[in-house]
Each structure stands twice: as C-alpha cells, then as structure tokens.
C-alpha cells in the first residue's frame, strides 16, 4: 500500500518559534505555557506527553530540560502536531532564572492508497474538495497559536518580537 503525506508548517516560512523568558520561577512559565496550549487547542489529557524531563540539582543554579508533544485530530485524515522544547536554569533559593522555549507545529494529512485508481480519486478529492478545508484548518490553528503566544507575552512580560 502506498502512503501520501501532506505536511504544512504552522509557522511558515519559518520552521519554529524561539522565545526566551528571564525572571522569577521559569518552571512556572513552562507549566503555564503547556496549559495555554492545551486550553486553546482543546487537547485532552491523553493527547499530550511530556517525553523527557531532566533536572540537574547538583548546583545552586539548577538546570532543566523538558520536551512536550501535543497531538490534535482535525479530521479523519489530518492531525496537528506541536512539539515544544524548554531549556532553562533556576536558582535554588531565589527562584530567578531563564528558560528558552522552542516551539514547532505541523499540520499532517495522510492518505493510503492501494492502486492507481484510488490515488487518482484522492488527487481529485484534494484539489476540488479538501483544499479549502485545509486552508481553513491552517488559519484556525494559526489564530489559536497567536492567542497562546499573546497570553504568554502578557503573563510573563515577553518582548513583542519573537525570533522565528
């Protein structure tokens, strides 16, 4: 069986968003960012995973790293995948520190076909029926991401300009 994948980056023409927060309790920023993403994208508790959490507690300034994956089903063919990596450090007593947040989001559509006739039917479906729906999905998810980033900027006094 053949497989056909269409992938669109949500932050195109850039691949990812890179933000740096400096201030009190950077780990709180990590948790609030994850909550905002879940809230705006309506992601249930079973559709996100914190793949990796590392803390180095051997020093007064404690470094940490975590990676979180979110998955949202848009329809029977399409999934929104969001990957967020956080790397930071936090002082043990004062709780002051920095965290760098790198976010990547992609809309993936997968079709499976068994013969050339099914492949032709999928191509016709994509060009005449699915194209407008996919554009609407991209716009809706871009709006959700902008709301998430605006709330993060407001809550943690991040700069208006985010490097992409």
Cα–Cα distance between 134 and 130 in angstroms, integer? 6
Q: What is the CATH number of domain 2-156?
A: 3.40.198
Alpha-carbon Rg for the chain, nearest whole angstrom, is 19
Contact 84, 67 (CB under 8 A): yes
Whether the pLDDT of residue 101 is over 80: the answer is yes
pLDDT bucket at 75, cuts 50 / 70 / 90: confident
Contact 126, 86 (CB under 8 A): no
Res 125: pLDDT = 84
For a pLDDT cut of 70, what percent of the chain falls above it?
Answer: 96
For residue 40, with 0-12 CB atoms within 10 Å meaning exposed, 13-18 middle and 19 or more buried, which class applies? middle
Whether the pLDDT of residue 164 is over 60: the answer is no
Res 71: pLDDT = 95
Site of tokens 């803390």: 55
Whether the pLDDT of residue 105 is over 60: the answer is yes
Structure tokens of 118? 């099914």
Cα–Cα distance between 139 and 67 in angstroms, integer? 26
φ/ψ (deg, to 5) at 107? -100, 120
Site of tokens 């932050």: 11
Q: What is the pTM of this model?
A: 0.86
Domain map of the chain by residue range? 2-156
Whether the pLDDT of residue 133 is over 70: the answer is yes
């Amino acid at each position: 069986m053949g497989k056909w994948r269409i992938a669109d980056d949500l932050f195109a023409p850039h691949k990812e968003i890179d933000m740096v927060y400096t201030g009190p309790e950077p780990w709180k920023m990590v948790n609030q960012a994850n909550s905002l993403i879940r809230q705006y994208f309506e992601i249930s508790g079973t559709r996100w995973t914190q793949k990796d959490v590392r803390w180095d507690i051997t020093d007064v300034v404690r470094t940490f790293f975590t990676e979180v994956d979110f998955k949202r089903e848009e329809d029977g063919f399409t999934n929104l995948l969001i990957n967020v990596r956080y790397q930071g450090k936090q002082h043990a007593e004062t709780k002051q520190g920095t965290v760098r947040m790198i976010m990547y989001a992609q809309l993936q559509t997968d079709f499976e076909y068994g013969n050339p006739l099914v492949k032709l039917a999928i191509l016709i479906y994509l060009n005449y029926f699915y194209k407008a729906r996919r554009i609407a999905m991209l716009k809706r998810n871009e709006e959700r991401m902008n709301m998430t980033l605006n709330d993060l900027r407001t809550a943690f006094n991040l700069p208006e300009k985010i490097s992409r």
